[in-house]
Structure 1
Amino acid sequence: MDSTSQEIAFEILPVIRAYKDGRVERLIGSEIVPPSLEDPESGVSSKDITISQNSGLSARLYLLKLSNSSSDQEKLPILVYFHGGGFCIESAFSLVHQRYLNKLVEKAKVVAVSVEYRKAPEYPLPIAYDDCWDALQWVVSHSHGQSGFDEPWLTKYADFNRLFLGGDSAGANIVHNIAMRAGEHGLNQSSKILGAYLVHPYFWGSNRIGSEDSNPYQQDILDRIWVNVSPYGIDDPKINPMGPNAPCLSQLGCTRVLVTVAGNDPLKNRGRLYYDELKKSEWEGEVEFFEVEGEGHAFHFINSDSENAETVFKRLASFLNLPSRI
């Protein structure tokens, strides 16, 4: 074996190790699982689709078990979901996200599209942002059902007047950046984003705020993940939307936002600051803030059946069932 194949380009323990020959070892993350027809716990069905043959962009779709008692099926809110994992691990096809979406779709009664965007370091940012933007455009292209290649779960069951974005951790970061792009450029088919939820959002910056100085080890991981997945600096608006060079949050392209943080999460201060700055801005939407005390980052994935995780799921379900004003 060539000696260069063993040389490490970077490693962020216990997350990822990348070698100079291009190999990548993802050291944590749950197993990949297939979609299912009527999950036994939730009754939710899922299937995988390819959005773009050129890029390989794909997604896993979720639909709850529907009653056949009425021929006029009520349309459901649609959630376009972006998974977390520091832009470099996890997958829309992983076990933890399958469980998460099964549970959320059952509780919220939505159609969900979980996007499998390309990951760093093989595909550094902004590729993940571009993939997620393309996936959103693909979803809204179904609003008029004019293509012969439309996905029937969307054309038949989705209410495009109740379009939501959602994400956890790095996925919540993607939610913000996609909503900002939507505010700047608009969406195809004259569609609009009704709401966006950000759970434990991965925002960061060089100047520490709140309790961020209390754990140098976590600081180092959060710093190093960003600089190794992105060409942007640690104070770029994509990771620090409250920084001095960031565009005004009033440009956010949705009408409602829910920000959720956990009391023991090193990222909680940024989530709170994001809420405060959005509320102070000239953005004309409505923003909510929800904190779960005594829990850490992504706890609702780790202990998804706990009482506090149930509280998070109920809050998300309530948010996703807000009525449309369109």
Structure 2
Amino acid sequence: MASATPTTTPSSNKKEIVREVPPYIRVFSDGTVERLIQIPFVPPLLDDPKTGISSKDIIISHSPPISARIYLPKLTNEKEKLPILVYFHGGSFFLGSPFSQWFHDYINSYLAPQGKFIVVSVEYRLAPENPLPACYRDSWDALKWVASHSDNKTTVNTEPWLIENGDFDKVFIGGDSAGANIAHNIAMRAGAEALPGNVRVLGALLCHPFFYGSEYVLDPEVDSSILAWKFVYPSAPGGIDNPMINPMSAGAPSLASLGCSKMIVCVAGKDQFKLRDRGVWYYEAVKNSGWHGKIELFEEAEEDHCYHVLHPETENALKLNKLLASFLQE
């Protein structure tokens, strides 16, 4: 799918499409951005009568603007300590929000009710208004903010649910698609930099991770993943072989330095974006890297990309979400 050719002459006053990833997003000559998939936003809800989950929106940082939706299950007692999942949503780095119906319904109605844990679903800045690596910086800052509640000495915009009910020996990161890519990159950074309070990431869950690279690409002019990466990170050193998108590239740091103790990588056999093989490739690379953690691979052969988010009510989606909840509570 090549970028559209402008249909107006230079003297025309009509806006021209100058960049796009069809059929998802366009950038026009006047700088305006049009997202062709509109997902309605939904409000949080304290003590949802259907799930028992409470949610609210919180500010992590004003500069840069980073926010989140946080979820808390019903507690056995007010001081009960629960694992914490810092979640990064998918959407190719240019779509999606924790406040959208897709991701709110997924976490509130399907993932969180499978167990007892706190979820912090991060609103990072999207491309192209904020090209990569902005989303990685925002996500790292969000994780640091969560970790800072472990001693509550340097926290700005403190969150009582984390202070009173967070178990900082059980901090997890995870996401789907682009969010799983973010989770990998945050795990790599956690292996190189200390978090506040010496908090360590216990585990990472990567569902249908967006990894790519020049190897095995048949036609870069029609490859949607390459189009998306060039769209969100046009200045990426190494292009599609930048370590952020290709963790196995020649210039990538060793996967042995991943800063977590366990990981689950989930793939879909009928992934329309051809990410299944990349996910398995990543799993094998981590397993053989010398990393001292525990990694497992889960594949649903007959499912498509992010089926557990887009169709969370299905049998296979429920099975995967139970697996993820179990991973968070082992």
Question: Could you say whether these structures have the same fold, taking a TM-score greater than 0.5 normalized by the shorter chain as the test?
Answer: yes
RMSD: 1.8
2:177 pairs, out of 153, 166, 169, with: 169
Equivalent residue number for residue 227 of structure 1: 230
Query: Quick check: 1:129–1:178 contact (8 Å CA) kept in 2?
Result: yes
In structure 2, the residue matched to 1:280 is 288
Query: Quick check: 1:20 aligned with 2:26?
Result: no
The answer for the alignment partner of 2:146 in structure 1 is 139
Aligned CA distance change for structure 1 residues 129 and 139 (closer, same or farther; 3 Å): same
Tell me which residue corresponds to 1:295. Answer: 303
Identical residues among aligned pairs (%): 50
1:122 to 103, 122, 129: 129
Relative to structure 1, the CA distance from residue 249 to residue 148 in structure 2 (aligned partners, 3 Å threshold; closer, same or farther) is: closer
2:103 equivalent in structure 1: 97
Runs of 5+ consecutive residues of structure 1 not aligned to the other structure: none
Partners of 1:83 and 1:309 in 2: how far apart? 17
- CA deviation digits over 1:125-157, x for unaligned, max 9? 000000000001000000013358421010011
Name the residue aligned to 1:107.
114
Give the partner amino acid of 1:154. Answer: L
Letter in 2 for 1:20: S
Q: Is the 8 A contact 2:59 2:157 kept in 1?
A: no
Q: Is the 8 A contact 1:5 1:19 kept in 2?
A: no
* SS of residue in 2 equivalent to 1:74: coil
Q: Does 1:236 pair with 2:250? A: no
Q: Report SS of the residue matched to 1:269.
A: helix
1:253-288 CA distances to partner (integer Å, 9 max, x unpaired)?
A: 001010000010110101001110100011110001
Q: Identify which range, 104-113 or 163-172, moves more after superposition.
A: 104-113
* TM-score with structure 2 setting the length: 0.91
Residues 20 and 231 of structure 2 are in contact (CA less than 8 Å); yes or no, is this contact kept in structure 1? no
- In the alignment, which of 39, 55, 59 is matched to residue 48 of structure 2? 39
Are the equivalent residues in 2 in contact too, given 1:5–1:21 (CA < 8 A)?
no
Relative distance call for 1:60 and 1:245 in structure 2 (3 A) is same
Distance 1:148 1:64 in 2: 24
Name the counterpart of 2:205.
197
For the Cα contact (< 8 Å) 1:140–1:160, is it kept in 2?
yes
* CA–CA separation in structure 1 for the residues paired with 2:220 and 2:48: 39
Q: Indicate conservation of the 8 Å contact 2:263/2:296, yes or no.
A: yes
**What is the Cα deviation at residue 217 of structure 1?**
9.7
- Any idea what SS the aligned residue of 1:18 has? strand
What amino acid is aligned across from residue 113 of structure 1 in structure 2? V
Q: Which 10-residue stretch deviates more, 191-200 or 297-306?
A: 297-306
Q: Which amino acid aligns with 1:263?
A: G
Give the total of aligned pairs: 313
Residue 57 of structure 2 aligns to which amino acid in structure 1?
D
Instruction: Normalising by structure 1, report the TM-score.
Output: 0.92
| Deviates most, 21-30 or 89-98 | 21-30
Contiguous gaps of at least 5 residues in structure 2: 1-10
1:52 aligns with 2:61: yes
Question: Is structure 2 residue 83 aligned with structure 1 residue 80?
Answer: no
